[in-house]
Amino acid sequence: MLTLSAFFCGLLFGLGLILGGMTNPAKVQAFLDLGGAWDPSLALVMGGAILVASGAFAVAKNRPRSLLGAPMQLPSARDLEPRLIGGSVLFGAGWGLAGFCPGPAIVTLGTGAPAAGLFVCAMLVGMLAFEGLDQFLKRARTPRPAAGVR
């Protein structure tokens, strides 16, 4: 059931992105182009989505389990660390350069557009690079027990 509902949510999410205009990189860039002919449409995509989702999150917050019995897994982090800001700066730059963020890139890959294929491959490499670096830093920070000590 959880897999099925994930499938339909993914489908609905994709349909929303297409209808909203998010899968057209030129439109996304027109939204980000405050110095040119500005297309405010994407603000309405976000506004509409937040309006609808807010109620559901308010309900979800107070439930230990989902309606299908899965544990409620909402993020608990509260710190504004440098990596949150730094990561968002890098993401925003990439978003502005190509007009793709992760969701629309995946949906556009579904149309068979080669440009989306190339973008998604690079995006996955970028994600793997982060995992690699993150693991490396974590290991570097944890002191290893000295050899020979039992």
Partner 1 sequence: MTIDWQHFTPWTSLAGGVLLGLSAAVFVLLNGRIAGISGVLGGLLQPRRGDVDWRVAFVAGMLLAPLAYGLFATLPVARMSTEATLLVGAGLLVGFGTRLGAGCTSGHGVCGISRLAPRSLVATLTFMVSGFLTVYLVRHVFA
Nearest CB to partner 1, comparing residues 1 and 146: 1
Q: Taking the complex as a whole, how short is the minimal distance between the CB of residue 26 and partner 1, in angstroms?
A: 4
- Tokens standing for residue 124: 């996955």
Does the footprint of partner 1 cover residue 55 (CB under 8 A)? yes
37 touches partner 1 by CB under 8 A:
yes
The two tokens of residue 30 are 């027109």
Q: What are the tokens at 12?
A: 């609905």
- In whole angstroms, give the CA distance from residue 16 to residue 23: 10
Under the binding rule (CB under 8 A), the answer on residue 72 touching partner 1 is: yes
**First and final CA of the chain: distance in angstroms?**
48
Q: How far is the CB of 143 from partner 1 (least distance, A)?
A: 24
Residues 107-146 that bind partner 1 (CB under 8 A): 107-111, 113-116, 118-131, 134
Q: How far is the CB of 138 from partner 1 (least distance, A)?
A: 13
